[in-house]
Amino acid sequence: MSNQQSAVAVQQEEKNITTSVLSKIQAFQESGELRIPKDYSPENALKSAWLVLQETVDSNKQPVLSTCTKESIANALLKMVVWGLSPLKKQGDFIAYGTKLEFTPEYTGNLVLAKRYGGLVNHNQKAIFKGDEFEFETDLDFPYRTRILKHKQTLQNIGGEVIGAYFAYELSDGTKDVEIMNISQIKMAWGQGGSKGNSGAHKNFSDQMAIKTVINRGCKLLIRASDDSALYEKEDDDAFDEVSHQVKTEINQKANKKTISFEDAVVIEDTKSSAVSESQNPSSLQPNHNPTDSVNNEPELAF
């Protein structure tokens, strides 16, 4: 197969898969099961995702587009669109587990979801170094909110041994709280991942990796505790009570469990000339315009 024929085949495969994903998304929208954020374009997100996928390899350094099944690729893309995230903005990663491709949010993606669905409006996060003066307390009355009383650092401490990290946040209802993890908890989370916390990033930038881990933990709690009211316009408020309890379950089932069937896909006939023309005039990329990293390939809190 010539290089030109190979390029045509890749473009045809992209069209078949993205057409299937867009068909599912359209079906979800028409049935009222999903509302795409106004600032998110599924078409542009899929185009940018395909560019990322073309450069993504598995653990054996083989292209995931060659080693992973078409069904898993389609469902990974479906997850990305349902969550309204953009891999081009490093909001999530495509990771191959054998022949199955998965899409998992980065810490930036978790921040996007927490802002969109969890009511997050303000946040700050810092690493705690050995020698820092750090004090916090938890309210004695329900709901037992935590607050930082003191965090005093010196220039000499910054960049030293990390002993913890925290993620302070404010919600749209005025709630303020803090997620705090000590280094033992952080390393335990790292141990759940493939690198076991031994990667170059973990060793050389342990403060930043610790911050990402505590952000993931705090955001995931906000996301999982939220409902899907952010998916609906104000005029949908009356109808929301009747369907809100079904929306999240159905979206999760369809995005995470239901495999896209390529028997129902619309196969687009293409010619060599049209494929070459499209390759010369690619559509502009406009990743979603969400504000600002469950976690990459590591389960639960790992990063």
- 145-169 mean pLDDT: 97
pLDDT at site 8:
62
Range 12-32 average pLDDT: 86
18-22, 36-40, 152-156, 277-281: lowest mean pLDDT where?
Answer: 277-281
Q: Give tens-digit pLDDT for 164-178.
A: 999 999 999 999 999
Kindly report the average pLDDT of the chain as a whole number: 79
Task: Read off the pLDDT of each residue in 101-108 and give the average, rounded to a whole number.
Answer: 94
CA 103 from chain centre, in angstroms, equals 7
Query: Residue 259: which pLDDT band, with cuts at 50, 70 and 90?
Result: low
Q: What is the pLDDT of residue 235?
A: 36
Q: Say which residue, 1 or 65, is predicted with more confidence.
A: 65
Backbone phi and psi for residue 133, each to the nearest 5 degrees, phi listed first = -95, 110
**pLDDT at position 279:** 39
pLDDT value at 36 more than 80: yes
CA angle 198, 201, 203 (to 5 degrees): 55
Place 39 in a pLDDT band, splitting at 50, 70 and 90. Answer: confident
* Residues 198-250: tens digit of each pLDDT: 889 999 999 999 999 999 999 999 998 877 655 444 333 333 333 333 344 44
pLDDT at 247: 41
Q: Which residues contact 110 (CB under 8 A, 6 or more apart)?
A: 215, 216, 219, 220, 223, 293, 294, 295
Residue 56 has pLDDT above 90, yes or no: yes
Whole-angstrom distance, CA of residue 9 vs CA of residue 12: 5
Q: What is the mean pLDDT of residues 45-52?
A: 93
